[in-house]
Amino acid sequence: MLNELLASRNLPPLKSRGEMLEILQREVYGFLPPKPDSVSFDVEKDTIRRFCAGKADCDRVTVKCSVAGGEFSFPILATIPNDRTKGKYPFFIHINFRPDNPDRYMPTEEIIDNGFALISLCYTDITSDDGDFTDGLAGVLFPGGKRPADGAGKIAMWAWAAMRALDYAETLGDILDLDRACVCGHSRLGKTALFTAAADQRFAFAYSNGSGCSGAAIQRGKSGETVADIVEHFPFWFCENYYKYAGNEDEMPFDQHYLPACIAPRRVFVGSASEDAWADPLSEFLSCVAASPAFEKGIVCPDRLPETDDKFPEGDIGWHIRPGMHYFSRLDWQRLIEFINLHK
Ligand code: GCU
C-alpha cells in the first residue's frame, strides 16, 4: 500500500548523492559558504565546572573563523560528561533557537545521563532570522547585502556554523567519539540539521524534528505548508532560485526526499508530532520511504498508514511520530538516543 501511495506523489527518482546535493544547493538552500581559511577556538576561563550535579563541565567557546576574506566569530557551549573512565562519548551538535543551557528544547542533564556530550549553538548568533543580509556571517559573505540567485540563504549559513562546531569537537578527539556525531534541530533548525548532514559527511547521524516544508517532508501532494507559503513568509531561509517553485511544485527537478537521501550511507532519524499538520507528518514519513533505496538498510515499517506513536528506528533511515504539538520534547530526545544506541 505504501508503494501505491508513494506512486501517487509522482516523485522524481533518486540520483547520486553528488547530483542531489548540487540540485538542493542550487535550487533550494543556496550554496554553502566556503570552508574557512582558518578556524581557532577561545575557551573562556569562567567555564562552569560541576554542571548537572557535578556530572559534566560546560565550556563557553568562541569559534573564530577567517572566511571569504573576512573575519567572523560566534559562541558555542560544550557540555561534556566529566567521568573519564567511561570511554569516548557520542555527542550531539544541537542547533537551537536560544543560547540557554538547559533549554526547553534541550534537556541537558538527561542527555548527559544517557552518556552523550552536547555542543549547542544559538542560530541568531550566526545571522539574524530575517531578510537582513548584512547581519553576522551574511554580511561577511555578501558585502553590501547583495547575494547571487544561488547564494547561501540563512539555513545554509546556520548549517555552516554547525560544521564549525564539529571542527571544535574534532579538537576533543580523546574525549568525544568522532565516529558518532549527530546534528539535530527542530523545525526551521530541523531543516538546517538535515542540510548540514547532507553536506558534511563527518556527521554519522542527523535528526530533524518537525522539519516539515523544505525539510524532511516531500512537497508533491503535501498538506499544510507549501512552497508558496514558506517563500512568502521566510524567503531569506533559501536562495532566490527557490522562489520560482511557489505554486509550481510539479516543476521541481527534485523533491525533499533528496535531502535525507544525501545523508546515506550514514543514518538519519526523522521526528514528527501527531498535531503538527503544518509540517505534515504523512509527507515526512513518505519522504523516508522514498529515500530508503539510498540506504543500505531502508526504513523498517509495516505496509500501512502510520499511526500516532509509531516508531521505526531499525533502518539506517528511521521515523517516529510522537503525540502532541510542534515542539522538541523530551520524548523526541529519548527516541533519538534510542535510535543512535541501536546503530552501534
Ligand atoms: C513556521 C514555518 C515552518 C517552520 C516553523 C519553525 O511555522 O512556516 O516552516 O518550520 O516556523 O521553524 O518553527
More confident residue, 294 or 48: 294
Confidence of residue 293 (pLDDT cuts 50, 70, 90): very high
Q: What is the DSSP letter of 315?
A: S
Q: How far is the CA of 89 from the centre of ligand 1 (A)?
A: 32
Report yes or no on whether pTM surpasses 0.95.
yes
Once rounded to an integer, what is the mean pLDDT over residues 137-144? 95
**Contact present, 77 and 58 (Cβ < 8 Å):** yes
- For 43-57, 63-77, 238-252, 313-327, which range has the lowest pLDDT when averaged over its residues? 43-57
For the chain, give the percent of residues with pLDDT over 90. Answer: 97
Once rounded to an integer, what is the mean pLDDT over residues 162-169? 98
What is the pLDDT, as a whole number, of residue 47?
74
What is the pLDDT, as a whole number, of residue 262?
99
Q: How far is the CA of 93 from the centre of ligand 1 (A)?
A: 20
Once rounded to an integer, what is the mean pLDDT over residues 307-328? 98
Confidence of residue 144 (pLDDT cuts 50, 70, 90): confident
193: Cβ below 6 Å to ligand 1?
no
pLDDT in tens, 180-199: 999 999 999 999 999 999 99
What is the pLDDT, as a whole number, of residue 48?
77
Report whether pLDDT(45) > 80: no
Identify the residue whose C-alpha is closest to ligand 1 atom 13. Answer: 187
**Contact present, 169 and 79 (Cβ < 8 Å):** no
Report whether pLDDT(145) > 90: no
Instruction: List own/partner pairs for 188-193 with CB under 8 A and 24 or more apart.
Output: 188/129, 188/155, 188/234, 188/237, 189/95, 189/96, 189/97, 189/123, 189/158, 190/215, 190/216, 190/271, 191/155, 191/215, 191/237, 192/95, 192/123, 192/155, 192/158, 192/159, 192/162, 193/95, 193/162
Which among 208, 276, 278 is the best mutation to test ligand 1's pocket, defined by most ligand atoms within 8 Å of the CB? 278
Once rounded to an integer, what is the mean pLDDT over residues 214-238? 98
Report whether pLDDT(164) > 90: yes
pLDDT in tens, 69-84: 999 999 999 999 999 9
Q: Which residues are catalytic?
A: 187, 326
Q: How far is the CA of 45 from the centre of ligand 1 (A)?
A: 37
Which among 104, 187, 192, 195 is the best mutation to test ligand 1's pocket, defined by most ligand atoms within 8 Å of the CB? 187
**Contact present, 192 and 95 (Cβ < 8 Å):** yes
What is the pLDDT, as a whole number, of residue 50?
79
Report whether pLDDT(46) > 90: no
For the chain, give the percent of residues with pLDDT over 70. Answer: 99
Sign of CA dihedral 79, 66, 208, 129: positive
What is the pLDDT, as a whole number, of residue 49?
76
Atom of ligand 1 nearest to the CA of 233: 8
Alpha-carbon Rg for the chain, nearest whole angstrom, is: 19
Report whether pLDDT(275) > 70: yes
Q: Which of 65, 53, 190, 162 is nearest to 112 (CA)?
A: 53
CATH number of the domain residue 76 falls in: 3.40.50.1820
Mean pLDDT of the chain: 97
Total count of domains within the chain: 1
pLDDT in tens, 91-137: 999 999 999 999 999 999 999 999 999 999 999 999 999 999 999 99
Q: Which of 51, 55, 73 is nearest to 63 (CA)?
A: 73
Once rounded to an integer, what is the mean pLDDT over residues 247-266? 98
What is the pLDDT, as a whole number, of residue 337?
98
Q: How far is the CA of 214 from the centre of ligand 1 (A)?
A: 10
Report whether pLDDT(152) > 70: yes
Q: Is 224 helix (H, G, I), strand (E, B) or coil?
A: coil
Identify the residue whose C-alpha is closest to ligand 1 atom 8. Answer: 230
**Hey, what's the cell of 66?**
577567517
Q: Which residue has the cell 541568531?
A: 124
Give the range of the structural domain holding residue 137, as residue numbers without chain letter: 2-342
213: Cβ below 6 Å to ligand 1?
yes
